[in-house]
A and B are shown apart, each in its own frame.
Chain A
Amino acid sequence: MAIVERPSPPALQLPAGPQVAPRPLGAFTRPSATTGWKSWLTTIDHKRIGIMYGASALFFFIIGGIEALLIRLQLTSPQGKLYSADLYNQLFTMHGVTMIFLVVMPLGAAFMNYLMPLQIGARDVAFPRLNAFSFWVFLFGGIFLNTSWFLGGGADGGWFAYAPNTGVTFSPGHGMDFYALGLQITGIASLVGSINLIVTVLNLRAPGMTLLKMPVFTWMGFVTQMLLVFAIPVISVALFLLTFDRLFGANFFNPAAGADPLLWEHLFWIFGHPEVYILILPAFGIVSEIIPVFSRKPIFGYPFMVASGIAIGFMGWGVWAHHMFASGIGPMSVAAFSLSTMFIAVPTGVKILNWMATMWGGRLRFTTPMLFAIGLVTMFTIGGLSGVTHAVAPADTQQTDTYYIVAHFHYVIFGGALFAFMGGFYFWWPKVFGYVLDDRWGKWHFWLQLIGFNLTFGPMHILGLQGMPRRQFTYLPGYGFEFWNRVATVGAFIIALSVLVFLINVAKSTRAHLANPVPVGPDPWDARSLEWMLPSPTPAHNFDTVPTVTHLDEFWHRKYQEDETGRVTRARPTDEVAQKGDAADVHLPSPSYWPIVMAAGLPLIAYGLIFNLGIAAVGGAIVLLGGFAWGLEPADDPERAHSHAAHGDGHGEGDGDGDGAGEGDGAGDGQESPEEPAAVSAGEGEGAEGDDS
């Protein structure tokens, strides 16, 4: 903050006159806009990135939802003739891929990106530019994948893409190339993001914030990132092998050449099973934040909640072949995986019971977020129980590949993750945007979604047990499938209505707020974790002063005093505890062009591999040159301390910061001019654009 002045060494003093010192490496200056649409393209602020993840996910949710409605329309009656089998196969494939990779994962990313730095008392993630890169790569990957609809047809091999059906012989169109390359791209986003968040959680915690004082949401997010970092490379390999088969004539999944199609299944599911925990753990975290707030009690059994999350993370690696009980893996493997799958129910059951114990003895407020959180607990229980029935391998040989499985995973992903994310939207909306979503509309949203969801997927348990297989573009009369399919279609449209209600709520509440802004204050819910200590919406710099943490639920403990019996008295009014958000001297890392530029190169490479290698070369050049430009771009603040953890802005070589001057020396948010580094450093040859002490 204070500018420490030191005289330039005389030997390096520049003659007066035109600049002769070489310009810093990195020809472009960094962007400086903080408002306007362009500022969103170059932002590296984790909060804005989180908002963009959320908005993108909602966009893809609508696309995936339309795909679902089209599926349901076709299945309303037997021998439906709405569209061809070919189109139907694309619809169910894209529905699955979209919902998993472009909706639920980015929704988790949205909440994790926005909240994790705040919950640990940090100003941003460890590598803000990398964070922006992750987002743009995800968005471009999702768009790339969906352009397949216009470029020859969507992927049609199922989201699980079993070989050899997905090879060129049986899927000659481009759809599966879009699938393989698109998921490869989004995988890069997840992998890079996971490295970022792991380092953030391990390194950027506020003083006193030990790992066991982190909120449960941050813990679940951390386990999720650990799962991602090890699972993504495995599907990467699977997708590479598929791509090499399809594009370069490799033989990995060619049975005539000696391949075993089970290789794909193993690689896919070694990723695929941890993937489902990646989908659900952030949701578990969200519920673990919401329920205590609206029960006015702390989470029951914090150590068990954390430990069960970690246990799920570890055990999740040992169950993958329960997706392959009918694939011919042999009775020993079947028995082993059956066992491991059963016991992974234990840590999940602990969570359900701990949430209920949190509510026990509480004072329950049934706000919209609380309703959605209760929704997860009740609906996930159903999905979890059907999951236990699949763990019984002989039973699973009847259930697998039927609508019973479809029911199971929709109960856990939709009834579980999506309900929690909706609750999270209503819970954190005031923190992010500065106003609440209307609670009455919220309740309509909740009830319509709950009813529609149960009407759609409840009957699928029956359909599956009656023998209706999955991935069927139609079914015959006389098998008993008509009635419940009809019910399910009606339910699907009720879900659609509930989503409409949500969107209307967002529009209405936003309009009401813009017309008549009423500050919602830092803590509308009387909550427990650090993000609620800040003004709403969260200021760009997060914390005025980084708090020192002495308790789990630090914010709550600053407001309330608790004696040994757990009795609580108010210690301080909230506005005394909450930060004002008016610190003007906090240094923020500058925005940057290179994340979005580099990200744009990736889909070009992908298009090029499919259509024209020239395009791929251009894409590759963009990635390479963008990477160099990124590494060499001028530091956002030449006098910033080297590697100061609380900033954590990615240091490339040529970032050119020396060690010495303190951080946050009033350079403001990235408003420096290009001449400033040269003038200050007076000869930047020694790599110290700051002063050498």
Chain B
Amino acid sequence: MSDAVLTETEATGAAPAHTTSTGISNEKLAMWVFLGSDCLLFGALISTYLLLRHRSTTPPFDPAEVFDIPFTSVSSFVLLMSSLTMALAVGAIHRGDVRRCRTWLLTTALLGATFISGQVYEFSGFKNEGLGYTTNIFGSAFYTLTGFHGAHVSVGILFLMSLFVMSLRGKLDASKAETVEIFGLYWHFVDIVWILIFTIVYLIP
């Protein structure tokens, strides 16, 4: 019976190649599935925003009067660049270049933090101009949507810093390349969601 073949394989102790039925590692597949569910999360939030943004009964009534597109474009660019540095980090670790990977990881985290700082600055400005979380329905929807995105970015920065610290302690090497790559998937997803949000919320009237 062909069961014996497997037993033999086990017995020699030879490490089988990735024996997953799809050929993708469990962790990577899990990340893809999770990102799929996150699409629905942001989909629901974006739909909510789209439905509610022009329905405020108290000012500010029009999102366009509040937004500063040039500023947000710059911070969007920053986030976009962080995806580039993330990709560079993944490339570095695949080559076994731990130091360079570490540098790019830190850069990505810093760019992400810059983006978040930009949002904080931007939102305090809005608040001063009279758009708070509870001011009207546009405020609630806008801050909730961007807030969830910001939370995703922040969790990402936390993870990046963990990877960075790990690499300082020498625990990040080419064998861990897939971990970095899987995190990269998450980071790129968060960036893509921002592109969507920026377009739908800021650019399209």
Q: Do chains A and B touch in the complex (CB under 8 A)?
A: yes
Interface residues of A (CB under 8 A from B): 1-4, 25, 126-127, 191, 194-196, 198-199, 202-205, 207-209, 229-234, 236-238, 240-241, 244, 248-252, 254, 256-260, 263, 267, 270, 545-548, 550, 628, 631, 641-646, 648, 650-651, 653-654, 656, 658-665, 685-688
* B178 touching A662, Cβ below 8 Å: no
B22 contacts A2, C-beta separation under 8 Å: no
How near does chain B come to A436, taking the closest CB pair, in angstroms? Answer: 29
Instruction: Say whether A203 contacts B26, CB under 8 Å.
Output: yes
Pick the interface stretch among B51-59, B79-87, B121-129.
B51-59
CB-based contact A237/B27 at 8 Å: no
Does A252 contact B52, Cβ atoms closer than 8 Å?
Answer: yes
**8 A Cβ contacts from B6-40 to A:** 6-7, 10-16, 18-22, 24-27, 29-30, 33-34, 36-38, 40
CA distance A238 to B47 in the complex (A): 12
Assess A250 versus B134: contact at CB under 8 Å? Given A545-B6, A660-B15.
yes
Binds A, one of B68-76, B109-117, B136-144: B136-144
Pair B14/A662 contact, Cβ less than 8 Å: yes
Q: Known interface pairs A662-B14, A687-B175. Does A259 touch B44 (Cβ–Cβ under 8 Å)?
A: no
A252 engages B12 (CB within 8 Å) = no
Which 6 residue pairs are nearest across A and B when measured between Cβ atoms? A662-B13, A258-B55, A233-B41, A237-B44, A203-B20, A250-B140
- How near does chain B come to A230, taking the closest CB pair, in angstroms? 5
Q: Report Cα–Cα, A78/B140, bound state, in Å.
A: 45
Q: B21 touching A203 by the CB < 8 A rule?
A: yes
- In the bound complex, how far is the Cα of B167 from the Cα of A653, in angstroms? 10
CA distance A548 to B162 in the complex (A): 41
Residue B163 CB within 8 A of the other chain: yes
- With contacts A2-B12, A263-B51, A659-B15 taken as known, whether A548 is within 8 angstroms of B26 at the C-beta atoms is no
Give A649's nearest chain B residue, CB to CB. B26
Contact B21 A252 (CB under 8 A): no
Inter-chain residue pair count (beta carbon < 8 A): 197
Tell whether, in the assembled complex, residue B140 and residue A251 are in contact, meaning their CB atoms are under 8 Å apart: yes
Is B190's CB within 8 Å of the partner chain A? no
B170 touches A687 (CB 8 A): yes
CA distance A545 to B2 in the complex (A): 11
Given A4-B13, A252-B137, A257-B57: A199 in contact with B30 (beta carbons within 8 A): yes
Q: Are A2 and B13 in contact (CB under 8 A)?
A: yes
26 A-B interface contacts by CB (under 8 A): A1-B10, A1-B11, A194-B37, A204-B21, A209-B21, A230-B36, A234-B41, A236-B41, A252-B141, A258-B56, A260-B52, A546-B6, A550-B2, A631-B162, A643-B25, A644-B19, A645-B19, A645-B25, A646-B19, A661-B13, A661-B15, A663-B15, A686-B170, A687-B171, A687-B175, A688-B173
Which residues of B are interface residues toward A (Cβ below 8 A)?
Answer: 1-7, 10-16, 18-22, 24-27, 29-30, 33-34, 36-38, 40-41, 43-45, 48, 51-52, 55-58, 133-134, 136-137, 139-141, 144, 162-163, 166, 169-173, 175-176, 178-179
Q: Which residues of chain B have C-beta atoms less than 8 A from A660's C-beta? A: 15
**A267–B44 contact, CB under 8 A?**
yes
Q: Are B26 and A256 in contact (CB under 8 A)?
A: no
Residue of A at shortest CB range from B19? A645
Task: Please classify the interface of chain A as helix (H, G, I), strand (E, B), loop, or mixed, using the class held by over half of its residues.
Answer: loop
Give the Cβ gap from B160 to chain A, nearest Cβ, in Å.
12
A645 contacts B144, C-beta separation under 8 Å: no
Cβ 8 A contact of B30, one of A126, A237, A238, A645: A126
Return the chain B residue nearest A267 by Cβ: B44
CB-contact partner of B21 in A205, A240, A643, A664, under 8 A: A205
- Asked whether, in the complex, the Cβ of B37 is within 8 Å of the Cβ of A195, the reply is yes
The smallest beta-carbon distance between A359 and chain B, in angstroms, is: 33
Q: Across the interface, do A547 and B3 meet the contact criterion of CB distance under 8 Å?
A: yes
CA distance A208 to B3 in the complex (A): 11
For A259, give its contact among B52, B133, B175 (CB under 8 Å): B52
A270 to B41 Cα, complex, angstroms: 12
> In the complex, which of the residues A127, A205, A661 contacts B26, with contact meaning CB atoms closer than 8 Å?
A127
Q: Given the complex of chains A and B, what is the CA–CA distance between A238 and B136 in angstroms?
A: 18
Query: Contact at A653–B171, with CB atoms within 8 Å?
Result: yes
The one of B7, B136, B169 in contact with A258, judged by C-beta atoms closer than 8 angstroms, is: B136
Q: From A229, A628, A644, give the contact of B16 (CB < 8 A).
A: A644
- Chain B residues, Cβ within 8 Å of A546: 3, 6
Q: How far is the CA of A656 from the CA of B41 in the complex (A)?
A: 33
CA distance A371 to B178 in the complex (A): 50
Contact partner, B52, options A25, A263, A643, A644, Cβ 8 Å: A263
Contact of B176 among A4, A209, A229, A687 (CB under 8 A): A687
CB-defined contacts of B171 to chain A, threshold 8 Å: 25, 653-654, 656, 685, 687
Minimum distance in angstroms from A451 CB to a CB of chain B: 42
Residues in chain A near residue B45, CB distance under 8 A? 237
Q: Is the CB of A249 within 8 A of B15?
A: no
Contact A653 B137 (CB under 8 A): no
Contacts of A203 in B (CB 8 A): 20-22, 24, 26, 29
Q: Is the CB–CB distance between A687 and B172 below 8 Å? A: yes
Query: A642 vs B170: C-alpha distance in the bound complex, in angstroms?
Result: 18
Asked if B37 and A202 sit within 8 Å, CB to CB, the answer is no
Chain B residue numbers with a CB within 8 Å of A661 are 13, 15
Beta-carbon contact of A234 and B44 below 8 Å: yes
Q: Which residues from chain B contact A545 at a C-beta distance below 8 Å?
A: 3-4, 6-7, 10
In the bound complex, residues from chain A placing their C-beta under 8 Å from that of B6 are 207, 545-546, 548
| Partner of B55 from A229, A259, A641, A650 at Cβ < 8 Å | A259
**Which B residue sits closest to A192, measured CB to CB?**
B34
Give me 16 other A-B pairs in contact (C-beta within 8 A), A191-B37, A234-B44 excluded: A2-B11, A126-B26, A199-B29, A203-B29, A204-B26, A208-B2, A234-B43, A250-B144, A251-B137, A252-B48, A644-B15, A645-B26, A662-B13, A686-B173, A687-B173, A688-B175
Are A202 and B55 also in contact (CB < 8 A) when A233-B40, A234-B40 are? Answer: no
Q: Is the CB of B162 within 8 A of A653?
A: yes
CA distance A259 to B137 in the complex (A): 7
A648 vs B21: C-alpha distance when bound (angstroms): 12
Q: Check A651/B27 contact, CB under 8 A, given A1-B10, A195-B34, A233-B37.
A: yes
Q: Max chain B CB contacts within 10 Å: which of A198, A203, A651, A659?
A: A203
A232–B18 Cα distance when bound, in Å, is 31
CB closest chain-A residue, reference B180: A653
**Contact partners of B16 in chain A: CB under 8 A:** 641, 644
Q: Give the complex CA separation of A251 and B33 in angstroms.
A: 32
**With A248-B134, A645-B18 known to touch, is A257 a contact of B56 (CB < 8 Å)?**
yes
Chain B residues closer than 8 Å to A195, beta-carbon distance: 30, 33-34, 37
Bound CA–CA A127/B34 (angstroms) = 14
Q: How far is the CB of B174 from chain A (nearest CB, A)?
A: 9
Assess the A258–B19 pair: CB atoms within 8 A: no
Closest B residue to A255 using CB positions: B57
Please measure, in the bound complex, the distance between the C-alpha atom of A233 and the C-alpha atom of B45, giving whole angstroms.
10
Complex interface: chain B residues within 8 A of A644 (CB): 15-16, 19
* Distance between Cα atoms of A267 and B26 in the complex (Å): 31
Q: How far is it, in angstroms, between the C-alpha of A1 and the C-alpha of B15 when the chains are bound? A: 10
B90 to chain A, nearest CB (A): 15
Knowing A199-B26, A645-B20, A687-B176 are in contact, say whether A258-B15 is a contact too (CB < 8 A).
no
On whether A250 and B176 interact (CB within 8 A), knowing A229-B33, A687-B171, the answer reads no
Chain B residues near A2: list those with CB within 8 A: 11-13
Give Cα A550–Cα B51 distance, bound, in whole angstroms.
53
In angstroms, how far is the closest chain A Cβ from the Cβ of B109?
A: 15
Interface centre among A256, A258, A665 (most CB of B within 10 A): A258
State in angstroms the CA–CA spacing of A643 and B15 once bound together.
10
B42 and chain A: residue at smallest CB distance: A233
> Chain A residues near B134 (CB, 8 Å)?
248-251
A648–B24 Cα distance when bound, in Å, is 12
Distance, CA A4 to CA B12, complexed state (A): 9
